[in-house]
Structure 1
Amino acid sequence: MSSNITCFSPVDGSVYAERPATSLSEARVKFAKAREAQKSWVALQLDERCAILSAAVDHLVAARDEISLEIAWQMGRPVAQCGGEISGLEERARHMLAIAPEALADAQLPQKELALRTMRREPLGTVLVVAPWNYPFLTAANAIFPALAAGNAVVLKHSAQTLVCGERFFEAFSAAGLPEGVFQLCLTTNEATTSLIQEGLHDHIVFTGSVAVGRHLQEANAKHFSGIDLELGGKDPAYVRSDANVSWAAENLVDGAFFNSGQSCCGIERIYVHREVYRAFVDRFAEVTKSYVLGNPTDDRVTLGPLVSGKAADFVRSQVAEAVGRGARALIGPGDFPADKPGSAYLAPQVLVDVTHDMRVMTEESFGPVVGIMVVDSDEEAIRLMNDSDFGLTASIWTEDLFAAEAIAARMETGTCFANRCDYLDPALAWSGVKDTGRGCSLSTHAYDHLTRLKSYHFRAQPE
């Protein structure tokens, strides 16, 4: 029986896109074609592969305006902010292509009178990329471009919510002249994707999404020896020290908390503020939050669009209601955001004070526009509370004392520590996490370690 993959737009609830689902038999053919095409793809010189991939980036950048509107309709981000995702894709993809020669170079070892003594990186084969909807181009590009540059074939299974984004990748690679079969797009259902993983048609998986789904896919992959990289989210904290530039920190942290309506794995979800600057910080944070505009994301004046679905918005509402019921105080009132529609995907941002770690909003990933702010009396207390989490993606420290920031960062149980910034990925630095945030690495030269395998060469010449 055939089925469809449907994207319901959070903008108005309409069907934005609908495509026939890729059946299991069709998907198996795609994997077989990818495996066969990879043999000739890896035979090309690295600079030839990178030139084709760079042309695909050019194609995506040229379509920035159309893609921005598509993103807004598919997942609700304000169109004025969507172009930045394509700029980010370009930055990351071009960086990963530029460092490929270094990352994939032979190991420089003393020859010890041998004819050849080195280690070389070889592609894994076929990499399955399971991409999310919240940053549909950035997250997918993190894996797709280095995987292809390294000589792998890629099969992309994109979220049903952003299925048109997967098609954009396919169009870009086709226009750039990528050999047929090297990049495959699978519009499979979640159930069919699990079945494909259980069959072991891939050589590696890169997944970005929830902890629950990550565990499910890891179990599906368990009987195979192929690797799986899992980026599973966060509950990222910030700490504002007593010597911080309070107004500047507040402005930046509002952006870090509410950009993309808080639907970012590395968005700020909880803030700890030293008592000496707590009141000034909270007042400024609430003031900046109230300057945001909630509404239809296709309107250039809007800075907050709907969440991806009414269900996602209701989840955040339940966290807020529980916290208020336990004594938290909400600083954003019903009249501050008239476009808020209870029960819909349109949700006003919320700032909560008088919160504790007994409340879900401080411990459970929200993935929406809500942040809790707690007062602390010392660095030691802030460190303890920031580490009191099942997640460990990023932590952010706001201070003029960078030596103190480095000492605090050394004790953070996270993959990345920021000082005086947040919610940003530097493509030259490894992107990784600890605890339930998952495992693996993207970006930097270290990303290539996960997308290749080492082969050693130990050649001795025969005696004359």
Structure 2
Amino acid sequence: IVPWNFPLLLASWKIGPALACGNTIILKPAEQTPLTTLKLGELIIEAGFPAGVVNILTGGPETGKAIVAHPGIDKIAFTGSTAVGKEIMRGAADTLKRVTLELGGKSPNIVFSDADIDGAVKGAINGIFYGKGEVCNAGSRLFLESKLKDEFTEKLVGRALKMRPADPLDPKTRLGAIVSQEQMQTVLGFIESGKKDGAKLVAGGNRVAIDGSKGFFIEPTIFGDVKNDMKIAREEIFGPVLSVLTFEDVDEVIGQANNNPYGLAAAVWTRDVKRAHSVSRRLKAGTVWINTYGLMDASLPFGGYKSSGFGRELGAHAMEHYTELKTVWLNMG
């Protein structure tokens, strides 16, 4: 069961290991983005797959519930929100299905004062605004060592203001449309929450209209003076909204970074390699990037801690979720 933000990519993450391990599968795309998956189905037929090996089933929540409850299905692999992931676990309980869940995130992006500032600014921008922030591992919490706050924020805002929402079909566009009106309203609601809680809006915060487009667009949005207990710092927004927090020392920032329900990813920016590895070990996150953000490779496992789910996509570890262990004894006497 795959989400709407990377429908074709995440479908391939599920299909690959499942087929390699000899399984037949049912693939359910999100109801908002079924077309790429249906096109994939056409290519699967064209490639000569036997009928029934890959089955594509479209629909909304009721379709998903039927899949989860069906006694003839042995395993559910789900990517999506934590709330729906919990529903899937409850639904799978009656049939004791195997379940793997790649869920939401509120990833901390930590910048120490000895970091390459320009590189970290670029990484912070890409970490939150890539894919309009509709990314599970988006770096939506930016932790700056206090002495960096003014310089870093100024550069950050300067880059954000240059990113204007535009036609997603234009190859030059770096910030396209939010997936739906419902999701846009959710994001705007979080922005209002940040204002009411006392965070300082330093960039964006508005819906914008694009000539000739009926899409839903939101400016790149940055909040300063954010506290870790604010809603915008604790809950997954899934939109182009960045919360900037500050810290004084290593122990403080690790405490703040880990004090969150999620644990999907994190990043550390510093020239001190010893500190980078020490902080990485202490962060409760399934992936930690050092002096970069968002790198992925098909050979490396990806998944989260805590409310970000369990199980892993990609790499050899993903194969384990599509197999069963069996012990066979043979008496040769």
Q: 1:414 aligns with which of 285, 292, 309?
A: 285
Higher helix share: 1
> CA offset at residue 330 of structure 1?
1.2
Q: 1 CA distance for matches of 2:36 and 2:215?
A: 24
Matched, 1:225 2:96: yes
The TM-score normalised by the length of structure 1 is: 0.68
**Judging changes above 3 Å, is the alpha-carbon distance between structure 1 residues 196 and 301 closer, same or farther for their aligned structure 2 residues?**
closer
Residues 110-149 of structure 1 mapped to structure 2, 5 A cutoff: 130-149=1-20
How many residues align? The count is: 331
Matched, 1:452 2:320: no
Matched, 1:434 2:332: no
Q: Deviations over 1:379-435 (max 9, x none)?
A: 111101110110000010011112111101111111111111122322222112111
TM superposition outliers: structure 1 runs of 4+ over 3 Å: 333-340, 457-462
Q: 2:65 aligns with which of 182, 194, 200?
A: 194
Conserved 8 A contact 1:147-1:451: yes
Q: 1 CA distance for matches of 2:117 and 2:224?
A: 17
> CA offset at residue 204 of structure 1?
0.6
Secondary structure, counterpart of 2:253 in structure 1: helix
Residues 146-295 of structure 1 mapped to structure 2, 5 A cutoff: 146-295=17-166
Secondary structure, counterpart of 1:355 in structure 2: coil
Q: 1 CA distance for matches of 2:170 and 2:151?
A: 33
> CA offset at residue 246 of structure 1?
0.6
Of residues 151-160 and 172-181 in structure 1, the stretch that sits farther from structure 2 once superposed is: 172-181
The TM-score normalised by the length of structure 2 is: 0.94
Matched, 1:323 2:194: yes
In structure 1, give the amino acid aligned to 2:11: A
Conserved 8 A contact 1:328-1:353: yes
Conserved 8 A contact 1:290-1:336: no
Q: Which runs of 5+ in 1 are unaligned?
A: 1-129
* RMSD, aligned α-carbons: 2.0
Q: 2 CA distance for matches of 1:410 and 1:335?
A: 38
Q: 2 CA distance for matches of 1:157 and 1:222?
A: 20
In structure 2, give the amino acid aligned to 1:438: G
Of residues 323-332 and 231-240 in structure 1, the stretch that sits farther from structure 2 once superposed is: 323-332
> CA offset at residue 193 of structure 1?
2.6
**Judging changes above 3 Å, is the alpha-carbon distance between structure 1 residues 381 and 248 closer, same or farther for their aligned structure 2 residues?**
same
Conserved 8 A contact 1:293-1:337: no
Conserved 8 A contact 1:154-1:183: yes
Q: 1 CA distance for matches of 2:291 and 2:330?
A: 52
> CA offset at residue 184 of structure 1?
0.5
Q: 2 CA distance for matches of 1:243 and 1:411?
A: 20
Q: Which runs of 5+ in 2 are unaligned?
A: none
**Judging changes above 3 Å, is the alpha-carbon distance between structure 1 residues 245 and 144 closer, same or farther for their aligned structure 2 residues?**
same
Q: Deviations over 1:418-455 (max 9, x none)?
A: 11112232222211211111111111111111110122
> CA offset at residue 344 of structure 1?
7.0
Q: 2 CA distance for matches of 1:275 and 1:365?
A: 24
In structure 2, give the amino acid aligned to 1:364: E
Conserved 8 A contact 1:313-1:344: no
Q: 1 CA distance for matches of 2:243 and 2:145?
A: 14
Q: 2 CA distance for matches of 1:211 and 1:184?
A: 25
Conserved 8 A contact 1:200-1:221: no
Q: Which residue of 2 aligns with 1:424?
A: 295
In structure 1, give the amino acid aligned to 2:51: E
**Judging changes above 3 Å, is the alpha-carbon distance between structure 1 residues 338 and 357 closer, same or farther for their aligned structure 2 residues?**
same
Conserved 8 A contact 2:203-2:222: yes
**Judging changes above 3 Å, is the alpha-carbon distance between structure 1 residues 456 and 439 closer, same or farther for their aligned structure 2 residues?**
same
In structure 2, give the amino acid aligned to 1:161: Q
> CA offset at residue 231 of structure 1?
1.0
**Judging changes above 3 Å, is the alpha-carbon distance between structure 1 residues 429 and 333 closer, same or farther for their aligned structure 2 residues?**
closer
Residues 357-396 of structure 1 mapped to structure 2, 5 A cutoff: 357-396=228-267
Q: 2 CA distance for matches of 1:338 and 1:191?
A: 34
In structure 2, give the amino acid aligned to 1:369: P
Task: Decide which structure has the larger Cα Rg and report it.
Answer: 1
In structure 1, give the amino acid aligned to 2:295: Y
**Judging changes above 3 Å, is the alpha-carbon distance between structure 1 residues 382 and 260 closer, same or farther for their aligned structure 2 residues?**
same
In structure 1, give the amino acid aligned to 2:268: I
